[in-house]
Amino acid sequence: DTAVSQTPKYLVTQMGNDKSIKCEQNLGHDTMYWYKQDSKKFLKIMFSYNNKELIINETVPNRFSPKSPDKAHLNLHINSLELGDSAVYFCASSFFGGGNTEAFFGQGTRLTVV
């Protein structure tokens, strides 16, 4: 029943490791997003894909690489993790375009880099 699901919910890892977060939506949306929420709860968009095509790529270190195998999935791979990458990462999905459609968010993945 879950509309937007992310795995894992919690991720604790050491500096320098590589990790991935997976996201899936069953809402039939064609656009998916990754947002980062920092320790002060500020939310900022990182990436967006529409039908597997990258349409938003904010100023994010290239250690972060999103991949969308199909329009229902958007994964985030992070290389060489740093302490500053610790945050909650939210996946979201919506219909494309116009700016007026609701985005549905997943439960978040709390990444802690030690």
Partner 1 sequence: AQSVTQLDSQVPVFEEAPVELRCNYSSSVSVYLFWYVQYPNQGLQLLLKYLSGSTLVKGINGFEDEFNKSQTSFHLRKPSVHISDTAEYFCAVSYYGGATNKLIFGTGTLLAVQP
Contact residues for partner 1 (CB under 8 A)? 4, 31, 33, 35, 40-45, 48, 50, 55-56, 90, 92, 94-108
The answer to whether the beta carbons of residues 11 and 114 sit under 8 Å apart is: no
Nearest to partner 1 of 56, 60 (CB atom): 56
Bond prior to 66 in cis (omega within 30° of 0):
no
Q: Which is nearer to partner 1, 51 or 79 (CB)?
A: 51
State the minimum distance, in angstroms, from the CB of residue 106 to partner 1: 5
Minimal distance, residue 40 CB to partner 1, in Å: 7
Q: List, in sequence order, every residue forming a beta bridge with 33; answer none if it has no partner.
A: 48, 92
Quote the least distance from Cβ 31 to partner 1, whole Å: 7
CA–CA distance, 112 with 114 (Å, rounded to integer): 6
Cα 94 from Cα 19, distance rounded (Å): 25
